[in-house]
Structure 1
């Protein structure tokens, strides 16, 4: 039995974005309860050489939208990467969700065999299905999990169930 490229991408990204929205709700409530400036959480990071929480949200959003754009040979919307508040991160997630909602299963038919060049300077080319399973989904979930870890590290009450949706 095969699984469609649509089912491997759009619902998976939607689920991860839903987890990220839950994190924002819980982070906002935590900041209010503990009288913490929410900007501290948005700018928090795990290590100096890693992106802060806002960067994790930006990269998760980019991973979802650029994956679908590459698989359909279309252009993804461009976002500024300038979010500094919880509300701005919510807005970015909403824009990403709206973009994902424009894709149908038919739009992704044949994408499993499309040749995708990995971003960056590597020049590595993967077939669409391999691109999804070895790069796009792991990259997306890395940023979702890192956002989770940053907020946990800051004391926010999020757990595995929030990650799993």
Structure 2
């Protein structure tokens, strides 16, 4: 299994769960008769990013990682407007951009050293970057976005976070 196989498909699948969360958030706001933007701009703590900014990281991380692992400059990711339509569009766009990628495009990725923009002059070997930074960072933002909604009473549960499983008959 290469670095693509352990990261990008899983990130894409998890990003897709944001669409489920949005549906639940909208239904929650509608049932209680308040504007859903209250949830989209909610945060867990005053110094943390709000829900939409967390989602921005959920959609940016796999796109950036896919570029870095292939030795390409990471794309600029536009800030997402805090609206259901804008978040939905960003998630769908990211998943569409990731869908055509294939494991074979990442065959030499493990040999790369990924520079760390927040630590000039430092980098991580690509396997370490994926396992020690990209995946934990992605899931940090996913858990935080999910938790913001949960904290504000949106009925989301573990299956809504984990995503559909690929069950097989025994």
TM-score by length of 2: 0.90
Query: Is residue 2:66 matched to residue 1:65?
Result: no
Question: What is the distance in 2 between the residues matched to 1:69 and 1:144?
Answer: 20
Moved more, 45-54 or 3-12: 3-12
Query: Is residue 2:162 matched to residue 1:164?
Result: yes
The equivalent residue for 2:167 is none
Q: Which runs of 4+ in 1 moved over 6 A?
A: none
Gapped regions of structure 1 (runs ≥ 5): none
The equivalent residue for 1:31 is 29
Q: How does 1:16-165 map to 2 (within 5 A)?
A: 16-121=14-119, 123-165=121-163
Residues 35-80 of structure 1, C-alpha deviation per residue, up to 9 Å, x if partnerless? 1201101000001110000000001111111111111122444332
Q: Determine if contact 2:67/2:75 at 8 Å carries over to the other structure.
A: no
Residues 89-136 of structure 1, C-alpha deviation per residue, up to 9 Å, x if partnerless? 000001111111131111111101211012313543111111100000
- Report SS of the residue matched to 2:153: coil
The equivalent residue for 1:11 is 9
TM-score by length of 1: 0.93
Q: Determine if contact 2:53/2:80 at 8 Å carries over to the other structure.
A: no
Question: What is the distance in 1 between the residues matched to 2:120 and 2:33?
Answer: 45
Moved more, 23-32 or 44-53: 23-32
Moved more, 147-156 or 30-39: 30-39
Gapped regions of structure 2 (runs ≥ 5): 164-170
CA drift of 1:6 comes to 1.9
Moved more, 155-164 or 122-131: 122-131
Normalized per residue, the structure richer in helix is 1
How many residues matched? 163
Aligned-pair RMSD on alpha carbons? 1.3
